Amino acid sequence: MRTSVPIAILVVLATAGFAPTDPPYTGKWKLNLAKSDFGQVTVLYEPVDGGGFKVTVDGLSYTLKTDGKDTPTPWGTTTAWKSINASTWEAINRANGMLLSTDTVRLSADGKTLTVASKVMKASGETSNDGMTFHRISGGPGLAGKWQAANLKSSSPGSLEIAPKGADGLILTFVDQKGVCDAKLDGKEFPAAGPMWPAGWTCALSKHGDHAFDVTWKKDGKAMYSSTFTASADGKTLTETGGAASTTEKIKAVYDRQ
């Protein structure tokens, strides 16, 4: 799932104990940002008539004004932007009326760097202080232009659990959002729901050899993201590779076993 800031998906899968015959990707995992790479992710801001911007992230676009009013996004969330000054904006992101994050978007004095400082809410009521830095690829002046992700920081990186269900299923639970997808490994769509997730999301799982599985996410029937989770030979790390369905941009998220 995404908000207005492209940040890669943090899947968490609920589990209890695991039998020796369970797949090697089952268990509890925590995102290791130092080993991960989100550098292909881009954001495009294009000025529109009457003020505001057309924003394109993951190949999906929406138009907003910096007037503090909620704007729907393609992910089923809303974002409300307002100008703080000529180089700073605040964005408040919500789903199902619940606060997801408050972002401060700041342009550097030389116009070459864009930083996004986010206070991200968790379903538990706890928060995480996240940050993403982007470098300008093209465009200008100001916010207008194309920006590429440079790095992502978090005071509380996402944790991930993977639990088998019977001989042919998995339960995926995004711990921070308490979002769950209970699906069989047959490539068919199953509901994905949680208190902080918009309605209309589904996931489909399929086996990818003995050490991996594929996930496809859809919103209202539209393909949004797909990735492969692969356990290392020693079982100590889990690597997610993939990206948005509408772009060729890829991410690599590495999780350490807990």
CATH code at position 63: 2.40.128
Q: Check whether residue 118 and residue 199 sit in a common domain.
A: no
Is residue 20 in some structural domain?
A: no
The verdict on 232 and 195 lying in the same domain is: yes
Residues 172 and 195 both lie in one domain: yes
Per-residue pLDDT at 93: 98
Per-residue pLDDT, averaged over 51-76, amounts to 97
Identify the domain boundary among 114, 132, 153: 153
- Residue 52 sits in the same domain as residue 132: yes
Q: Please tell me the predicted confidence (pLDDT) of residue 160.
A: 85
* pLDDT (average), residues 148-152: 93
In this predicted structure, what is the pLDDT of residue 6?
Answer: 41
Residue 111 lies in a domain: yes
One domain for residues 72 and 131: yes
- Positive or negative, the CA dihedral 187, 208, 243, 179 is positive
Tokens of 214: 């594929």
Residues across the chain: 258
Query: Mind listing the pLDDT tens digit for each residue in 92-148?
Result: 999 999 999 999 999 999 999 999 999 999 999 999 999 999 999 999 999 999 999
Q: What's the pLDDT score for residue 139?
A: 97
Bigger pLDDT: 182 or 1? 182
pTM for the full predicted model: 0.89
pLDDT at 44: 98
Neighbour-count burial of 34, counting CB atoms closer than 10 A to its CB (0-12 exposed, 13-18 middle, 19+ buried):
exposed
Whether residue 108 is contained in a domain is answered as yes
Of 94 and 12, more confident:
94
The domain spanning residue 251 has which CATH number?
2.40.128.20
Helix (H) or strand (E) holding 32: none
Q: Does residue 234 sit in the same domain as residue 145? A: no
Q: Are residues 136 and 194 in the same domain?
A: no
Nearest to 46 by CA among 134, 115, 145, 136: 145
Domain tally, the chain: 2
pLDDT tens digits along 198-243 = 999 999 999 999 999 999 999 999 999 999 999 999 999 999 999 9
Same domain for 207 and 229?
yes
Q: Secondary structure of 145-195 in the HEC alphabet? A: EEEEEEEEEECCCCEEEEEEECCCEEEEEECCCCEEEEEECEEEEEEEECC
Residue 15: pLDDT band with limits 50, 70, 90? very low
- Domain end marker among 135, 153, 171: 153
113 found inside a domain: yes
b/e per residue 180-207 (b: at least 16 CB within 10 A): bbbbbbeeebbebbbebbbeebbbbbbe
Range of the domain at 79: 42-153
Mean pLDDT computed over every residue of the chain: 91
Mean local confidence (pLDDT), 161-189: 92
Q: Is residue 125 part of a domain?
A: yes
Token pair for residue 133? 């830095």
